[in-house]
Structures are given as structure tokens and as C-alpha cells.
């Protein structure tokens, strides 16, 4: 079997940072490990955001079986959260692609060690989801207790600017469909305006 085809993925969170150190470290790591680097992708994006076009390009390469290994300096550069990391590892496993952190930690889910790590991570991901759900519920309860009105109040719907015309036409005996056609709205929008103003 020939050299494994590797891609380097480097990410920083803000525009005042750059990926040079990560790329240099990963190139040296790839040389030591004997990988053939077939591409380097750099990205500037917050770890919490899903807008990561370069990562998506790498995943497309993995799915097309054009690479064998993805190299990152640390797992936080790749995964947005524990849930995201577990999901992407499962996808990579299905495509027979490994994610390797510079520390040498390899996530090859075909091995007993990889399966164990994935199981622990899946449990942590579920715990993370439960904690987030609990924090959201707690925050909503606290806001309600302070008298905060949750959800949109009347007048905050974008369609409410059409309400006077819609109501006038409906009062004149026009059907929802006719009003919707005349004002270039959907029938559902007309019905929602009517219902909010009963």
C-alpha cells in the first residue's frame, strides 16, 4: 500500500490571527509520519459557527474517498462541539477516513481503542446536549419569573404591516384567496393576520 493521502486543516477564530504556526507544525508532523499531503485548507471562523466552507470541502473529499487522513493540531480546531465532533467522526468512519490530532491521537473507529473513545465521546455529547437543554429551560423560567414576555408580541410579525389592507378587504367580503392574490401574499399569511386581529 502506498502513502496515505492527507489533508491539513487549520482554523483560527479571528481575523487578527493566522494559521501559519498550525500549518507548519502539521506539515512537519505529516513528514515524520510519512503522509503525502495533498492539500492544505485554512479557515477563519469561530468554533461555534457552522459556516465553515473549507471544512465542508474536506468532508466532500473524504466522502469521495479522495483522502485517507485529516490532520489537525487539536480536536477543537475541527469540531464545533462534542456533538459535532462525534457526528463528523461517524461520517469519516463510514468513508474510511481518519482524523488525527498533532498529538498523535488517532480516531480510527475500526479499532477497539477508537470505538471506546467514540463511545465515551458520544456519552459526553449526550451529556452536553442535556446540560444545554437544562440551561435553556432554566433561563426561560427565570425570565418568566422576572415578568419577561417570551415570544413575539402582536405587531412584531413582519406581515402585520399589511394588516390594515388585509382587514379592510376581508371586511368588504373578499375571501382569503382573493386578498392574498391582490396583495401578493400567501393565503396562510392572510389567515394569520385575520386570526391575530379577531
Active site residues: 13
Q: Output the 3-class SS for 171-187.
A: HCCCCHHHHHHHHCCCH
The DSSP line for 135-152 is: HHHHHHHHHHHTTPPPSP
- Asked if residues 41 and 55 have their Cβ atoms less than 8 Å apart, the reply is yes
Q: How far apart are CA 47 and CA 135, in angstroms?
A: 20
Q: How far apart are CA 148 and CA 136, in angstroms?
A: 15
Q: How far apart are CA 99 and CA 92, in angstroms?
A: 8
Neighbours of 22 (CB within 10 A): 23
Question: What pairs with residue 107 in β-bridges?
Answer: 99
Amino acid at each position: 500500500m502506498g502513502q496515505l493521502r492527507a489533508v491539513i486543516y487549520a482554523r483560527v477564530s479571528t481575523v487578527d490571527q493566522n494559521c501559519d504556526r498550525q500549518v507548519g507544525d502539521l506539515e512537519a508532523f505529516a513528514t515524520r509520519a510519512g503522509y503525502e499531503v495533498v492539500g492544505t485548507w485554512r479557515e477563519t471562523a469561530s468554533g461555534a459557527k457552522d459556516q465553515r466552507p473549507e471544512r465542508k470541502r474536506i468532508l466532500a473529499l473524504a466522502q469521495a474517498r479522495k483522502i485517507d487522513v485529516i490532520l489537525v493540531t487539536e480536536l477543537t480546531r475541527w469540531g464545533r462541539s462534542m456533538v459535532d465532533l462525534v457526528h463528523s467522526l461517524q461520517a469519516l468512519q463510514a468513508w474510511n477516513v481518519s482524523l488525527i490530532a498533532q498529538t498523535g491521537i488517532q480516531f480510527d473507529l475500526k479499532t477497539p481503542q477508537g470505538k471506546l473513545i467514540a463511545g465515551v465521546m458520544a456519552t459526553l455529547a449526550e451529556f452536553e446536549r442535556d446540560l444545554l437543554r437544562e440551561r435553556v429551560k432554566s433561563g426561560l423560567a427565570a425570565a418568566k419569573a422576572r415578568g419577561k414576555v417570551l415570544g413575539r408580541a402582536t405587531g412584531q410579525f413582519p406581515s402585520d404591516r399589511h394588516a390594515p389592507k388585509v382587514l379592510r378587504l376581508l371586511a368588504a367580503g373578499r375571501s382569503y384567496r382573493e386578498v392574498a392574490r391582490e396583495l401578493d401574499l400567501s393565503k396562510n399569511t392572510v389567515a394569520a393576520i385575520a386570526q391575530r386581529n379577531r
